[in-house]
Amino acid sequence: MYTTNTKTRKLLLLPIFLNLFDGNTNVTTDEGLSAEMKTFYSDYLIDIAEPKLVHDQFAQKHPIPKKGGKTIEFRRYSPLPKLLVPLQEGVTPDGQKLNVTKIEATVAQYGGYIELSDILILTSIDNNIVQATKLLGSQMGRTLDTVTREVLAGGTNVIFSGGKEARYLLTGGGETGNCYLTVNDIKLAARFLKTMNAEKVDDSYVAIIHPDLSYDLTNDPEWKYPHQYVDTENLYNGEIGKIAGVRFVETTEAKKFVAPPLIEATATTEAIRNLTIAETLSTAGKTVKLNEELTEAQATALVGRKIILANKLYTVKSATAKSGSNAATLTVLDTDPSISTTDGVKDAVIYPGEAGAEGRDVYATIVIGANAYGVTEITGGGAEIIVKPLGSGGTSDPLNQRATVGWKATKVAKRLVEEYMVRIESCSTFNDHMPN
């Protein structure tokens, strides 16, 4: 099923206005580099970064002009209602007004650098600046892509696979009843966008999908691969196929919801994903004793965590460490239901609750219509490569021992029309608990 905060179907016009904002828009100049080299390194960085920006492909893109403030302002016009009352002869009807909604977003800056020693530069066989730029370009692309991805993953329209009503109920790894991505899920997402009058991107809606989900989905006989398309020259970066009027773009950067272990690893101890109940509750209550021996730090870290017990979701209010013969305990919020005697039984497993049932990984497949969101455009002045050669550090580097290569980018992503995107959440055959 899907959930949405949309009460009425609307066709919303697109953002049309952009405030300029400040920021560095040119390649940093250094006396130690020629203009040609500066351009080369900048273009090289962008070329490497661009393939990583899968989530930016289908956005409205806006360049970053200089000296105009830090806020992008979008304008959205509400549709006019139907006029079903016939005009009266000789009577001029009342005029109508435009209803404008402003959507603002503030840019932020991201960046990093690599320090190169003089010895490395002198003795290395490789061109270290080029290699550093390659690595930094990949880092920049993945960073900026994730900025956009997290904004999209926060959308309010959700379909849960298997007809489930919440993320923590999604199951996987069983012989039956697995909530894996299906063709029907895709059809439901496409149907939702159609009912919202979302325009298509070119000829189709677009879905951003993780390879783990592609494995589950591409076994369907309805799946069409790119080589079966009439037009094979205009494929999107990462495109793998089409089904139900939705074109799929595959990336390992597609959103995963991964529940961390309830007890994180330390330098001397291993992580513990799940906890277990030490004693069966004699009466329904909010507190259970644990088999595990928690430290004070571990108990404190549990506060606020989501947990799953007997397919019910709770939030940890407090926890206590083991003290002498007293077992460690866990208490759920006062607003949560009491833990029943049938659920709070000895050795019952308590799972982390930020993802699927039993702590299983949940994947997001984001299905998008045209003009659903906007991003800044790195080729329009949003990114720069910064090369500081040996000898450019002044008194902080008196022996000319250090050079640096870095990148800096100004970026913002914003959902513009919630009705034009929907997120499908599902489990997968695979389950590695590795966040991306």
pLDDT of residue 389: 81
**Domain co-membership, 329 together with 389:** no
At residue 131, the pLDDT reads: 80
In a domain? residue 195? no
Q: What is the pLDDT of residue 63?
A: 77
104 lies in some domain: yes
Indicate whether 31 and 73 sit together in one domain: yes
pLDDT in tens, 327-384: 999 999 999 999 999 999 999 999 999 999 999 999 999 999 999 999 987 776 678 8
Give yes or no: residues 323 and 396 share one domain: no
Q: pLDDT band for position 398 (50/70/90)?
A: confident
Does residue 290 share a domain with residue 409? Answer: no
Whether residue 142 sits in one domain with residue 30: yes
- Tokens standing for residue 368: 């998008």
pLDDT for 43 equals: 67
Say if residue 395 is in the same domain as residue 298: no
Is 238 domain-assigned?
no
pLDDT in tens, 184-223: 999 999 999 999 999 999 889 999 999 999 999 987 777 7
Please, which pLDDT band fits residue 241 given cuts at 50, 70 and 90? confident
Q: 159 lies in a domain?
A: no
- 134 and 59, same domain (yes or no): yes
| Confidence (pLDDT) at 214 | 93
**Does residue 310 share a domain with residue 380?**
no
- pLDDT at residue 171, rounded to an integer: 97
- In this model, does residue 51 exceed pLDDT 70? no
User: pLDDT per residue over 132-177, tens digit each?
Assistant: 888 888 898 999 999 999 999 999 999 999 999 999 999 999 989 9
Q: Give a yes or no: residue 402 inside a domain.
A: yes
Q: Same domain, yes or no, for 312 and 388?
A: no
Per-residue pLDDT at 6: 45
CATH number for 317: 2.40.30
Q: Are residues 32 and 150 in the same domain?
A: yes
The larger pLDDT score, comparing residue 56 to residue 134, is at 56
Q: Residue 277: what residue type?
A: I
Asked whether residue 269 is domain-assigned, the answer is no
Does 173 map to a domain? no
What domain range is 386 assigned to? 10-78+99-154+371-413
Higher local confidence (pLDDT), 232 or 411: 411
Ranking 27-41, 366-380, 391-405 by mean pLDDT, the lowest is 27-41
Domain boundary among 354, 385, 402: 354
The 10s digit of each residue's pLDDT in 269-293 is 899 999 999 999 999 999 999 999 9
Comparison of pLDDT for 129 and 253, the residue scoring more: 253
- Residue 40, pLDDT > 70, answer no
- Asked whether residue 15 carries a pLDDT value surpassing 80, the answer given is no
In a domain, 212, yes or no: no
Into how many domains does the chain fold?
Answer: 2
Same domain (yes/no): 380, 343: no
CATH number of residue 71's parent domain: 3.30.2400
Q: 54 and 21 in one domain? A: yes
pLDDT > 70: percent of the chain: 83
